[in-house]
Structure 1
């Protein structure tokens, strides 16, 4: 049933933005793996997503989930020119930090750190916010992403000029816009459907067992 709101009165919620791996719980009942049809499996694209309550919830509308996943994959995994992966992730992390989506910010900050090897700079974004000091190129990417997240009309020619001055060509600028725009929408979806849980104690994490 999707008309029953799920409560989580004893939920251990994260207290701050983090690069730690968070959990997530839905406010509406997701599908179970046993309920998935061939249509649902096709929509999930990656079968490992059947372990995620978020994707199992989105699978209730498989057609939209399939379109969403194709868009997501093309923005972040298409390496044919354009912006390097770490800066696509930076745009998503900055947008998520601005919008207050703790879960999305954790995922994409972690990716930005992994691909850039600049964990301290990424952590500064999480700790001190989108206005925290960054180098010229990252400043331009963050500012453009946050402007677009605020409202599309806030993205101005000045933001585009700053991106070009920082060395981005038109394809790279397009990737900034796509990454920020996608997560401006994705943040609102995730924030309306559930909430994050704090990292499990390290001894309880699967990778440590």
Structure 2
């Protein structure tokens, strides 16, 4: 399957809960009732405590507007990690958000089409390189990556956001890739 900014479906290899099986505890774990339309979240709802923690972490990393990295670049980090890891579904979701918030859909598409080494401006290059290094293995993220982020204008909180976005999606990609496939 090709990397795209189009909406994709996802098919689990294990049976998710049916919406009518959801208890109050499941609904609370979903945080947003709209997530009940997703087979991924219905599968994760089998363990509502972990789903709740996962969802709250996700929302805080990507929606917390109290300083730090702009949403577009948090989504860029998630897109780069997803492209690196081969998670076509996650890459499509976060590429759409990165393109939308940055108003740079062509730059995002180049990342999807040509890979994580595709040309980008210096700031995006620093974000992509740091995110991909972290996705490869934590020790691959070095002081040189942090220096490049600082040189691109990121402060400590913004650098922390790059790391959180990349680390979360490195984990999320592996979970999603282990539980099903895009369609």
The answer to whether TM tops 0.5 is yes
Distance 2:24 2:174 in 1: 28
| Counterpart residue number, 1:114 | 100
| Counterpart residue number, 2:16 | 30
| Counterpart residue number, 2:179 | 193
| Counterpart residue number, 2:55 | 69
Report how far residue 68 of structure 1 moved: 0.2
Match of 1:154 among 140, 150, 154: 140
Which 4+ stretches in 1 moved above 4 angstroms?
none
| Counterpart residue number, 1:94 | 80
Distance 1:193 1:41 in 2: 21
Distance 1:107 1:51 in 2: 15
Q: Which has the larger radius of gyration?
A: 1
Q: Which has the higher helix share?
A: 2
Q: Which runs of 5+ in 1 are unaligned?
A: 1-14, 198-209
Q: What pairs with 1:2-17 in structure 2 (closer than 5 Å)?
A: 15-17=1-3
| Counterpart residue number, 1:3 | none
Q: Which runs of 5+ in 2 are unaligned?
A: none
Report how far residue 178 of structure 1 moved: 0.1
Distance 1:101 1:41 in 2: 27
Paired residues, number = 183
Distance 1:111 1:34 in 2: 31
Distance 2:74 2:37 in 1: 25
Report how far residue 131 of structure 1 moved: 0.2
| Counterpart residue number, 2:34 | 48
Q: If the length of structure 1 is used for normalisation, what is the TM-score?
A: 0.87
Structure 2 SS opposite 1:25: strand
Distance 1:51 1:128 in 2: 32
- What CA RMSD, in Å, does the superposition of the two structures yield over aligned residues? 0.4
Distance 1:51 1:122 in 2: 27
